[in-house]
Homo-oligomer: A and B are copies of this chain.
């Protein structure tokens, strides 16, 4: 049993990690930290998990975590993980960081998007970008996993095959993402107030969304060319689920069957990617992955204009956060990739 700590356990990502780890047969959760709720039962904040954990939230302590844990999942805000990761690695723990702090390889790009010099540029290279469909090999034995952002995951999984196989010579893409409210985390704000958020169709960070940096990094790697991604998220009223509609103009029409084959080839053997095409539900829809770690990937071509849209639908808390983190962790340890993640999507939900 891998002794596991969740740092920042009172947020939505922390709660989702606990939900997964509670059914993970190779893992024992030994510590869950929360500054605000130290000493309180986990179910106080996560009433869904009532009866699942006997331990309480505790304060973070490097000594204690060193004693009690083999691996640490960090569900902390961006900029906060920075301060924890080096110390945790130093005392020999494996770290799965769900923040953006170690996702980018190039410190100058980090600075561009996050506004500060990265204090640990060496660790950027050591970190493995935890998108198992792209970095499965690198993840084996990884000590520091930088788990991708939700909108980046959706965008990358939608575009990766198109970039890999050169569907178009124009490597500038708009990823129009539709985003559910749990993406914003557990902290209330004016914009997340129910009467304000419900029925909204609200663009945000529409003049530069940070997840573009990750997406460009990963897709450029795949395409071996400089790929540019403009991600433009729209807040809508679902609670879970993100949908990337990544639009591109083709140089010439493609056969739909050809596109399908390339998708299938790209994702062959990837347990958590399903190619969706045709039938009653011809395109991906986050509705059908809710509660699971699946990414459903598909496409629509308007042949008249040679516009191709690649779709990718995920549960933002699963494949977009906690589920993917556990998937990467499983690979890093040589476990079955879907250990703890055999949770079929709910329907209807």
Chain A residues proximal to chain B, CB less than 8 Å = 12, 15, 19, 22-23, 44-52, 172, 174, 176, 178, 181-182, 184, 186-190, 192-204, 206-208, 228, 230, 232, 234, 236-241, 243, 245, 247, 249, 274, 276, 279-281, 283, 285-292, 296, 300-305, 307, 309, 311, 313, 342-349
Contacts and interface: CB of A to CB of B under 8 A. Distances in A.
Given A19-B346, A51-B274, 9 more contacts: A48-B289, A49-B344, A52-B344, A176-B247, A181-B348, A190-B280, A199-B238, A201-B236, A201-B238
B208 A279 contact: no
A349 B15 contact: no
Pick the most buried of A184, A186, A188, A190: most chain B CB atoms within 10 A of its CB. A188
A201 B344 contact: no
Contacts of A52: 344
A305 to B, nearest CB: 5
Contact of A206 (B194, B300, B342): B300
A253 to B, nearest CB: 12
B342 A174 contact: no
A251 B207 CA distance: 17
A348 B195 contact: yes
A192 B83 CA distance: 32
Contacts of A15: 347
Contact of A188 (B50, B190, B232, B346): B190
10 contacts: A12-B347, A12-B348, A182-B195, A186-B195, A188-B189, A193-B193, A200-B285, A201-B241, A201-B243, A349-B349
